[in-house]
Amino acid sequence: MLKALIFDIDGTVAETEEFHRRAYNRVFSDERISWNWSKDLYKKLLKVTGGRERLKHYEENVATNKYNLNSDEILRIHTKKNEQYNEWVNEGLLHLRPGIETLIYKAQENNIQLAISTSTSLMNVKSLFKNCIGKDPYTIFKTIATGDMVKKKKPDPEIYLLALRQLSLSPTECIALEDSYNGLISAKNAKIKTLCSPSLYHRDDNFSEADFICEEFTEDKLPIELRQLIFK
Ligand code: XBP
Ligand code: MG
């Protein structure tokens, strides 16, 4: 029996990554750091989840110009990136992906609980929902598990296991909604069935382990089995 839907945020609820990428480049330029992340490069860097982890990985393994950034400097750049990102969110530049809002309301009508499991921060989740549907996410989601609450981000299952604990549900009672390989593996390692809708940056990821795949989360594109469960 389906008791809860657990939503990823970046790429699933909204196409956020292009705004994160542009915000990084803006900060690099402001800080006189000679890095500029192209779309192709960012696609590769997204294999590392979490902004601070991604920055560290880039400096250590990819960058030719190195600045030997310590963890405080990485934190400062990441914080500035998020300030810029949230400025754009507050200006209304981001939108929920097709079908997401209806899915939320239909699930609520049918007493299916809602949760979030994401590598990003609670602050980013709050600003996205406030600006995209004018609501505090805690009025919609029973629990919100974020990257700042766990030691290991996706593809580790920790964020999904945290959501399950907070929901007091077993994995078989939930379905995860994801857009990327790392997200899928995180949910699958927590033994949760997963519906994947690849986002722009993850079109070429391997989704062979997904239980369900859809082009978008709209009613007409949902796998029939899930449509019957959610749109009763
Ligand atoms: C998304 C991420 C995040 C975002 C931005 O992963 O990896 O790092 O790029 O988040 P997922 P930050 O969708 O699988 O949760 O706040 O860490 O920069
Ligand atoms: Mg994602």
DSSP-assigned letter for residue 97: P
Nearest in space to 171 (alpha carbons), one of 189, 152, 153, 196: 189
Distance (Å, rounded) from C-alpha 122 to C-alpha 134? 16
Give the nearest ligand 1 atom to 124 CA. Answer: 16
Which amino acid makes up residue 141?
A: F
User: What angle do helix axes 158-167 and 181-189 make, rounded to 10 degrees?
Assistant: 50
Give the nearest ligand 1 atom to 153 CA. Answer: 15
Rounded distance from Cα 37 to ligand 1 centre (Å):
16
Tokens at residue 51, please? 């902004």
Q: Specify the residue for token string 């940056």.
A: 201
Instruction: Tell me the ligand closest to 183's alpha carbon.
Output: 1
**Model confidence over 87-116: pLDDT tens digits?**
999 999 999 999 999 999 999 999 999 999
Question: In degrees, to the nearest 5, what angle opens at C-alpha 137 toward C-alphas 165 and 9?
Answer: 75
State if pTM tops 0.95: yes
User: What angle do helix axes 71-90 and 122-133 make, rounded to 10 degrees?
Assistant: 10
All residues at 6 or more sequence positions from 134 whose CB lies less than 8 Å from its CB, including other chains: none
Q: What is the largest CA-CA distance in the chain?
A: 56
CATH class of the region 4-15+96-230: alpha beta
Rounded distance from Cα 119 to ligand 1 centre (Å):
5
Give the nearest ligand 1 atom to 81 CA. Answer: 18
Instruction: Tell me the ligand closest to 197's alpha carbon.
Output: 2
Report CA dihedral (205, 209, 213, 215) to the nearest 10 degrees: 0
pLDDT at 134: 97
Domain residues of the chain, as ranges? 4-15+96-230, 17-90
Q: Ligand 1, atom 16: nearest CA belongs to which residue?
A: 120
User: What angle do helix axes 17-30 and 71-90 make, rounded to 10 degrees?
Assistant: 120
Q: Ligand 1, atom 11: nearest CA belongs to which residue?
A: 119
15 three-class SS: coil
17-90 topology per CATH: DNA polymerase; domain 1 (1.10.150)
Pocket of ligand 1 (CB under 6 A): 8-11, 17, 20, 49-51, 82, 118-121, 124, 147, 154, 180, 182-183
Q: Which of 39, 120, 159, 205 to mutate to test the pocket of ligand 1 (most atoms within 8 A of CB)?
A: 120
Distance (Å, rounded) from C-alpha 12 to C-alpha 231? 19
Q: What are the pLDDT tens digits along the chain (232 aa)?
A: 899 999 999 999 999 999 999 999 999 999 999 999 999 999 999 999 999 999 999 999 999 999 999 999 999 999 999 999 999 999 999 999 999 999 999 999 999 999 999 999 999 999 999 999 999 999 999 999 999 999 999 999 999 999 999 999 999 999 999 999 999 999 999 999 999 999 999 999 999 999 999 999 999 999 999 999 999 8
